[in-house]
Structure 1
Amino acid sequence: MEFIKEEREDVKIEETLSVKHEDTEEQTDLMALKEESYEHNVKEEKDQYGNDHDFLSGETSFSCSQTEKTSSQEKAQKKRTSFNQQDHMRIHTGESPFRCQQCGKRFTHKVSFKRHMRIHTGEKPYTCKLCGKSFNRKGHLNNHMRIHTGEKSSISHQHVKSLDQDENLKVHMRIHTGESPFTCQQCGNGFTEKGSLNRHMRTHNGEKPYTCQQCGKSFSQHGSLKIHMRIHTGEKPYICQCGKSFDQEGNLKVHMRIHTGESPFTCQQCGNRFTQRGSFNRHMRIHTGEKPFTCPQCGKSFNRKGNFNYHMRVHTGEKPYTCQQCGNRFTEKGSLTRHIRIHKGEKPYKCPQCGKGFSQHGSLKNHIRIHTGEKPFTCPQCGKSFEKDWNLKVHIRIHKGEKPYTCPQCEKSFSKQGSLKIHIRIHTGEKPFTCPQCGKSFDQDANLKVHMRIHTGESPFTCQQCGKTFTLKGSFNRHMRIHSGEKPFTCQRCGKSFNRKGNLNYHMRVHTG
């Protein structure tokens, strides 16, 4: 009876390794499973060690060295009986010679070890011939067959109940009493069942005994492995009424909130509601100011892991997103998506006033300000306003005298990166912008646009006072000084003023000779 108890305990420990909600076939009829386990354990041990060992009665006919006979039949009997004695002695010695190479768990009996290995391999050798469902234990298949046959176990429910009812009742009562007798020595968390503690300990020791045979990824829980396997199989067993499928029940539950409108997570500070706990937790960091993700290299902190991962690429130089057409690489997937629109010519963002299209939403927002005249970015030092945040940042450098972009050839510095790029073309002689009509080339795109007005006859700048038109904004500004009388160029020697810089330069010759 001791032997049976040990074997049943071994089976029980194995089964706690699986996530409870995943093993539905084992939970459908708990009492029937216990009956089968009781029958099956006795049968398996008899099959392994021979019928001459009476496990139920505890009677064992171990051979005596003083009364051995020499016939071949009796020698075989002696060998089998001697093996049973050796196996039985492990109960007293505590010897567990069968060790799992994947998780390190040890077993006293080979049959227990074989059953355990099926957890890692995912092997289910026992298949129902009626519905095709497979099981990793013969007892579970026998139990399942009763669904088809309607057969009831020969062992009474009352008898099976008596085997474990005291222990099961104790565990159940902990739900009501709140008792958690199994405590983690590392973090102090308490658990109602030893199996739960064992699973929790894998968090600390990093143990991942369940390994995917296809990609080699390991998991701490059997249920996690089962979910992972659906990536390879493509199985999505949880189906919504709208037809969308999911590989996890939890994902289906979250999806259902789209149809029901349920938002169970409410912020107590601002009233915002969320369908997912993760979204709610991220939102709460806005109020608390918590930034749990800290860069180990520069100490900068972030309230989202995604932002932290993106920041780390600044240090590593990693650009995992590559354009397949031109080879340009990007740190963010969104940047690649926007870049692809250049190749496709896609401009999904349309101005509602003039119909102009843009490849980026931010570009449309900036464009809208041309129509509204909005300039929301104001310099705190001089009060000048700008349509774009970036323009303000560049402007601030004028006050600071900051010129961070330096030419490597002549060491001239610039406040804008674009200005440096244009300047470099002086050294290289590069003129990448070519007129398609006359072939003339320019070092700046703006200069080509102005040149094109010669061919088109376009004069977009019109004087409101006299109606004269101009192709260049500079020419228009100089003309307007005629009407306004403005003379911004003043001689530092005699104080005389002029409306054009060229006129001032000509005047200076009077003083210089």
Structure 2
Amino acid sequence: MEFIKEESEDMKIEETFRVKHEEDTEEQTDLVALKEERQELTRIEEKDQYERHDFMNVEISIQSKTTSSQKEVQKTESNSYFTCHQCRKSFNQKYNLKNHMKVHTGEKPFICQQCGKSFSLKQNLKRHIKSHSGEKPFTCNPCGKTFTNKAQFDSHMRSHSGEKPFTCKLCGKSFTRKGSLKSHMVIHTGEKPFPCDQCGKCFRHKSTLVTHMKTHSGESTCNCKLCGKSFSNKSTLNAHLRNHTGERPFTCTLCGKSFSRKGSLKIHMVVHTGEKPFSCDQCGKSFRHKATLDSHIKTHTGESPYSCRLCEKSFSNKSTLNAHMRNHTGEKPFTCTMCGKSFSKKSNLNAHIITHTGEKPFMCAQCGKCFTREITLTYHMRIHSQEYNCHQCGQRFSDKRRLNWHEKTHSRSSTCHECGKCF
């Protein structure tokens, strides 16, 4: 009876062991160890001991093989990637892929009970709840600014230290925030995973899509109190208000020039770096900004969707059309604050302002000579390249006009007998 009782207890342990094995393979190893220990402590007779020992050896052998096999599967899964079938984005964990899929499905199961706002991730809901409670436990000692979570606090601290730990592996550009790096990466990949359901237009970032959707709904929640103009988001309104106040908080650390918008500062910085990361696949020409590349590509396709209603002239982009329309209206909205002179184009105003400041931001990389305008630098660079060659004598010139004058010397038939000059 005692043997039957012990065998029954062993069977219970085996059953428990089997269930636990399915739930957690790490606990399974502990149960095997406990079972072996129990066998040694409950020896009663030598014969029974050997029978139970043989039985356990078979059981442990099977379970050890199962554990080893599961570990190999886990190892294989950890080294593999889980890929989204909609946008081909890959993740090293299945959990991250499930969270990512909510971007496409629009699923937001986590709802704030106070305001009804929903979120795709639980941690985002927790972060949002603090906006109701007003809890901001993280305080910046240098400036006194407070934050609701440590991630925002750490990101802010890097604005003081200048640390940029997130680096793009493709171009080497560094960022203070991981989110900024992710936003930058779509420049290289060209990925636009957020489509508009109404017009089909695609966007790189969800926030841009949300802003775009308001153009369909007509929603303009942010109004300028000074001029009554409406905007779809607060950041655009804040940028607009600087037009009234004259505030320019974004300053170039290289030349000291200030701007009202951060995007304008970024555009300006390429003047110093000379970076042109956007290349045309058809002709190889490079550009500083993607918008300029997009406009250039239309010169190959011949696409000119923007037409002037007054003269029917067509343009590849809306900004060029707007500039053209000012030729008809005589409007000159860009005024120099130093002398009051007005211009129809902002680029002309910028070129004019340099006459007051004496700034020469365009420098030749070969000889170091500086120029007030980029077009002047482009002409100057031809002196070094001498890209226009005479096919008859091989002489090189910096521009086509000089080459044309020179080529006429080969075709001239009238020669002065005294000096040899041709006419």
Q: Higher relative contact order at CA 8 Å, sep ≥6: structure 1 or structure 2? A: 1
Give the TM-score normalised by the residue count of structure 1.
0.37
Larger radius of gyration: 1
Give the TM-score normalised by the residue count of structure 2.
0.43
